[in-house]
Chains A and B, each alone.
Chain A
Amino acid sequence: MSNLILSEWYKLRKDRSFRFLCAGLILMGIAYPILVALDSQTGGGAPLSGIEIFVSAVSANEYFLKITIGVLAGFFISGEFGNGVMKRAASAGSSRSRIYAAKLAVFTAGGVMMSLLFPLCNVIVGSLISGFGELAEVDATLYLFRTLGFTILFATAFASLCALFAYALTDSGKTIGSTIVFFFFIDSLFYIVGNQLEFVRTVYEYTVLNLFRVSTMSFVLSARDIWLSLTMPIATFIVFLVWGTFVFRNKEIK
């Protein structure tokens, strides 16, 4: 298993799409606070502090996270079906379950790293420009670490979901397109159907799609919200790990 993880980690470090996505997120994470500072300077308003910039960019990070993980799944996982590298891994004397687990572990690590780059750059650069600041509703430091913690957890869940897409579709373009379409429309779909069917609305409230917003965009969380936000991403990860392993074990690699 360690061999598989070492090999996957080596590939991730050398993966051009991963490097490109990381560089893009860092650049945007640095540019955003600078642009906000310049805007407030020209507008004459008070500059936003590091934590305020962080708060204002949380919703943007949700989209960045989903898109970048989907793109990475396309290149890092599905791409290997296209160039045949998956064949070598599958014929090298490791079980499909281990191969899947190792790939998912490293892919998830990459997804988590990407999910933190934009908000971390926001808060660091914002703090350098106008100080860390405070929040009226909640302790700023607590909110920062809580939000980053939940971001890690939910990135893990989204990574397991994207990995399933990647293994099922085995084509970079299809994986990227499908994950983006899925993430952009699934909330609306749940909303529309949920308005007709109470059951669907209840299901949606328990999904990571909804809970990610609840946990990262609310200043105050109830005990129930915290419990759900801790358990549902883990449960989602396990479900998609098992599902993905099943898909990969039964798949013929072309």
Chain B
Amino acid sequence: MNSEYALRTVRLTKQYKTQLALNQVDLAVRQGSIYGFIGQNGAGKSTLMRIATGLAYPTSGTVELFGQSSGDAIVQARKRMGTAIETPALLPNMTAYENMETHRLLKGVPGKACVRKLLDIVGLQDTGRKKAKNFSMGMKQRLSLAIALLGDPEFLILDEPTNGLDPMGVVEMRELLKRLNRETGMTILISSHILSELHLLATHYGIIHKGELLEQLSARELSEKCRQYIHIKTDDPGRAAAVIEGELHTKEFEVMPDGVIRLFRHLDEPGKVSATLFASGLAIEQFMPMGEQLESFFAARIGGTAHE
């Protein structure tokens, strides 16, 4: 049985003694998407990932992996997954190669060549006899990702994979995940605290707070909500609109009822915009870049800091 979703939860609930970790969560990760899972510490991200990977059991509700939700079928569906949940899970007294080999055997991946290839991809090909316990956090994260990629999984679940990575490492991991998604259609569920980082990667988002999934939206929908623009107020909105259309050659602006113009183009050329308006004899009363960042959108959604 196949499904358009790699992962789907229906009214998923997880209750620890006194704490409700997940409350009726309906999450859907479409196949081929990169799903950015956003939430504060303790929001329920890891709990949901742990249930999806079979490490924890739900109190109620169901989990579907590739359309499979029952006993043995969901266990089999997990063969199509690669996971890196919470801290990198490594055997400390083994080398990178030996750690990979252990998991290659576990997954029954034929041939040892894939081990070298994946170590090469994550930049750990030269670690030699160095034991995993002596690796930096960034190296451990890379090795953890390489292990998760063994067997060419169709669905990758990564919990905070950029923790401990240096800036270049973050960029490399992002590019690798994008490439895997683009070239192989790999579905990726990724949680991260670095929202700007997720913003450069994810095609879909889910916002979870105190165990409740507040919102799921596509990157396009998020961009609409977080759209950046130049806020312009002049003494003559009608003429300003004509100047923008005629001189700046764009129709991507809105004239608001109060006469304010929201210009969605030329965001990196504010000088050119103001000079054009000024040259047309318009008096500029207000001129400023506006819009919501992902962080402020997220904060507003969970009831934290208000909109900017």
Query: Chain A interface (Cβ within 8 Å of chain B)?
Result: 2-4, 6-7, 10-11, 14-16, 83-95, 252-254
Q: Chain B residues near A10 (CB, 8 Å)? A: 101-102, 105
Known: A87-B53, A91-B81, A93-B76. 15 other contacts (CB 8 A): A3-B108, A6-B105, A10-B105, A14-B91, A14-B94, A87-B86, A88-B89, A88-B106, A91-B83, A92-B78, A92-B103, A92-B107, A93-B77, A93-B78, A252-B57
- Residue B87, interface by CB 8 Å: yes
- Residue B211, interface by CB 8 Å: no
Q: Chain B residues near A2 (CB, 8 Å)? A: 108
- Residue B61, interface by CB 8 Å: no
- Judge whether B91 and A90 touch: CB under 8 Å: no
Q: Beta-carbon contacts of B43-76 to A below 8 Å, as 1s and 0s?
A: 0000000100111110000000000000010011
- Judge whether B79 and A92 touch: CB under 8 Å: yes
Cβ-defined partner of B89 (8 Å) among A7, A87, A93, A252: A87
Query: Chain B interface (Cβ within 8 Å of chain A)?
Result: 50, 53-57, 72, 75-81, 83, 85-94, 98, 101-103, 105-108, 147
Q: Is the interface of A mostly helix, strand, loop or mixed?
A: helix
Q: Chain A residues near B101 (CB, 8 Å)? A: 10
Cβ-defined partner of B90 (8 Å) among A7, A83, A86: A83
* A-B pair number, CB within 8 angstroms: 82
Q: Whole-angstrom distance between the alpha carbons of A15 and B89 in the complex?
A: 16
Q: Whole-angstrom distance between the alpha carbons of A14 and B97 in the complex?
A: 12
Q: Whole-angstrom distance between the alpha carbons of A83 and B80 in the complex?
A: 24
Min CB gap A53→B, angstroms: 35
- Judge whether A252 and B103 touch: CB under 8 Å: no
Q: Whole-angstrom distance between the alpha carbons of A252 and B51 in the complex?
A: 9
- Judge whether A91 and B105 touch: CB under 8 Å: no
Min CB gap A245→B, angstroms: 15
Q: Whole-angstrom distance between the alpha carbons of A2 and B108 in the complex?
A: 9
- Judge whether A253 and B79 touch: CB under 8 Å: no
Q: Chain A residues near B107 (CB, 8 Å)? A: 3, 92-93
Q: Whole-angstrom distance between the alpha carbons of A3 and B110 in the complex?
A: 11
- Judge whether A85 and B55 touch: CB under 8 Å: no
**Could you pull out 14 A-B pairs where Cβ atoms are within 8 angstroms?**
A3-B106, A3-B107, A10-B101, A11-B91, A87-B85, A88-B83, A90-B53, A90-B54, A91-B53, A91-B78, A92-B103, A93-B77, A93-B78, A254-B55
Closest 8 A-B residue pairs measured CB to CB?
A93-B79, A84-B89, A91-B53, A7-B106, A7-B105, A3-B108, A93-B78, A253-B55
